[in-house]
Structures are given as C-alpha cells and as structure tokens.
Amino acid sequence: MAGRRRKEHQPARAANHGLRLQRMSRARVVVSSAGVFHAYHLARGAQAGGYLQRFITSIYSRVEMGIDRARVVQLRLAGYFARAMELLPGSAAQAITYHLADNLFDLLSRAYVHDADVFHFFNHYGLHAMKTAKLHGALAIVERSSAHPAYHHQLLVDEFQRHGLRYPRAYLRLHAKHVAEYAAADYVMVPSEFVERTMLAAGVPAHKLVRVHLGFDPQRFVPGPKHDSVFRVIYAGGLSLQKGVAYLLAAFAKLRLPNSELLLVGDEYPEARAFLAPYAGAYRHVRFVRQSELPALYQQGSVFVLPSLQDGFGMVVYEAAACGLPVITTDHVGASLRDGIDGFVVPICNADALAERILHLYSQPAERAAMGASAQQYVQQFTWAHYHRELCGLYARLTGSN
C-alpha cells in the first residue's frame, strides 16, 4: 500500500535530504494545486500531522477548507485567468485553458517553494515549481489521480472515434508535461491499484510509486429514509464520454423498468450532446448539487452506478456506499468494492453488463438491501481520518522525520 518502494532507494533520499531534516521534528511540506480535486483534504491532513508549511492554491474558502489562513497562498491572478478562459467554447478551448492558465499557476508558485523539505504537488501544476524546489534541496512528490496519460489518451481517442467525434489534440501538450513531472519527481503518489498498474505498464519505475487510499466523511454520508418507492438509479459526476454515461443511458433505456428513474447529477461536457440527445426524456438531469446536499440525494437512491472508462479513484463510490447504496462500477474505477458483496463490477464500455446488473438489483430487493448494508459497513475503513494518518505516515517514512 502506501510507501511501497525499493529498500535500496531510501538511503539515496536520506543522503540528499537528511541534513535539513535532522534539524527538525517534522519535515516542512508545501502542497500545491490550482484545482480542487482532493487537494484540500491532503493539505488538511498535512496540517493535522504538523507537516504543512504552506498550501498554494488558486481557490480559497475559509469555510470549505479548514486550513490555517496564515499557511495559504492564493494565486488570484492564475484563478482569474482560468475563469476567463473557461468562457471559450469547446473541448479544444478547454485544453488550451488548462495549458495556459495552469502553467501560469505553476510559474507563479516558484516564489513559494524555497523553504520546502517536501514539495507535494498535483500533476500538471508543478513542473517549473518542482525544479525550483529541488534546487533548494526539497524532495518532490507528484500526485496523479488518473490513469497514466498514455493509457488515458488512447482510451479516450478510441471512445471519441466510436461516437463519431475527434479527441482534441491540444490535450497532448498536457500529457507531455504530466510525463515530464513523473520523470523529474522523486515519487509519484497514486490513489489506487488501478492507477498504479497503468503507471507500471507505461514504464514509471516501481520504486517511485507510492499509494495512499482516498476517503470520505463518515459524519456527513450516512444512511437515511427513502421517501418513495421508485427504483432510482443515481449517477454523480461529469456527463462525459470518459465517465461512461453513454453506456448507462443505453442500459437503462433498454430495460424499460416500471416505476423507475435514472437520475444524472453533474455538468455536461462539450461532447455530451452527442450521447444525451438520443435519450431525451429517458432520464432526469440535475446539473448542480451542493456538497452539503449530496447525502440527502444518495438516500433517495436504490443503486449507484459509476460506469467510468477510467476513474483513478471515484470518491462518489464511497460516499454513495456510505449512504447505504449498493454500487455498480467498472473494473477501471479505483475505488474498490467487493464484487457480488457490496455491488457489482462490470467491464468498461458494456451496456449489456450494466443492464444485467441493474435488472438483478431491481428484481431482488432483499439482496439489494443486503448489498447496500454491506457496502455501508465496508467503506467505514476508508475515511478521511484514515487517509490523513496514512499520508502523515508516508511523509515520516520518506523523509526520516519523527
């Protein structure tokens, strides 16, 4: 699990970074991410363990983050630029936004990493800042939440072609930067065995890979009463080809189940119109739900489905399971549940397999309830508190600090 690496690699790390670390009880960790992802949870965990020196971000909310404001550096210019670029239409414009706005964030971050013992940054946001941090003796950890870019790219190229669309070539520039960060970093942190497998297959050295399992909030995501008898299939996430929503739509439409509903929660990606249009009227769409409202939404479901072609983790899986729902995922979703016990795992791009499992849960209400209860109990081991302990243990092992 977390911290897996070759033993012979550790002395080199200690030799390079030990002199500074010997003078302190905790390594000074600088966390950097322009996006949301799980960066706030990571920074909170580093702070709870006494490691957080600074959190560099483009978005700050005192209420949401729970991080000491004195330790936050908000790069507003990069954030403003990113929001302005988001007004441009289309997938290609989105890729250009990522390239320009996020590189600006990366370049501006260089001014805040000189005193880091560990520079922990999210993939795509730290190539230039990492070089500066390493010049000052820092150990560099890059966080990758999805499959290796080479695998990710080919998967989406094929899927876009399958739907008569062209995958934006502008994304290739992003992938090149991602791979350069793996090469230059000391470690690559991944959230799941699925991501780790794709990294190894693409040639990332095993000694660089460390795995820390993500979590959920057990105080917020709990079972609750369902207020109707509708068999409700819930999906939460972006409406995109990558998330496999097209296959879920096909599966549900094929079944024509009485007293049932497919609820899609999330914003539409530029390519969504191509696969949503044929199923107009066959589903209900809620574009936006506040995080605070998600538990109540899950509690009105009968089953949760995340049919992603690739999802490095998929925190919604554990959130829905914690609310007592059985979950259907694919074998390319990192958040692991036990197939046949907590729900079902199906192959990617397979509407028939999804339909078969949805029909089974529709037809077997007692088994559906038992699977939901099992899933709710199983995920209790994967809380954010557990993630924080695992993260801080990793920092201690990699740096030799107390």
Instruction: Give the DSSP letter of residue 21.
Output: H
The predicted pLDDT at position 175 comes to 85
Give the three-class secondary structure for 249.
helix
- Distance CA(85)–CA(161), nearest Å, equals 27
Give buried/exposed letters for 193-222 (b at 16+ CB in 10 A, else e): ebbbebbeeeebeebbbbbbbbbbbbeebe
Do residues 152 and 146 make contact, with C-beta atoms less than 8 angstroms apart? yes
Residue 283 sits at the vertex; the CA angle it makes with 282 and 285, to the nearest 5 degrees, is 145
**Pairing assessment for the beta strands 327-330 and 303-306 based on DSSP bridges:** parallel
- Distance CA(21)–CA(5), nearest Å, equals 20
Strand partners, 39: none
- Distance CA(313)–CA(152), nearest Å, equals 14
Burial class (CB in 10 A: 0-12, 13-18, 19+), 314: buried
Nearest partner of 372 among 348, 338, 332, judged by Cα: 338
Nearest partner of 35 among 167, 174, 159, 166, judged by Cα: 174
DSSP result, 90-135: SHHHHHHHHHHHHHHHHHHHGGG-TT-SEEEEETTS-HHHHHHHHH
Nearest partner of 246 among 190, 333, 307, judged by Cα: 307
- Distance CA(378)–CA(337), nearest Å, equals 8
Q: What is the CA radius of gyration of the chain?
A: 21
Distances in Å between the alpha carbon of 295 and those of 220, 260, 262, 325?
7, 20, 17, 11
**pLDDT digit of tens for each residue in the chain (402 aa)?**
444 333 333 433 443 454 354 445 789 999 999 877 799 999 999 999 999 999 999 877 655 568 999 999 998 765 565 565 555 665 556 666 666 778 889 999 999 999 999 999 999 999 999 999 999 999 999 999 999 999 999 999 999 999 999 887 777 777 889 999 999 999 999 999 999 999 999 999 999 999 999 999 999 999 999 999 999 999 999 999 999 999 999 999 999 999 999 999 999 998 999 999 999 999 999 999 998 999 999 999 999 999 999 999 999 999 999 999 999 999 999 998 999 999 999 999 999 999 999 999 999 999 999 999 999 999 999 999 999 999 999 999 999 876
Task: Domains for the chain: give ranges and CATH numbers.
Answer: 7-215+383-399 (3.40.50.2000), 231-381 (3.40.50.2000)
Q: What are the tokens at 165?
A: 């669309």
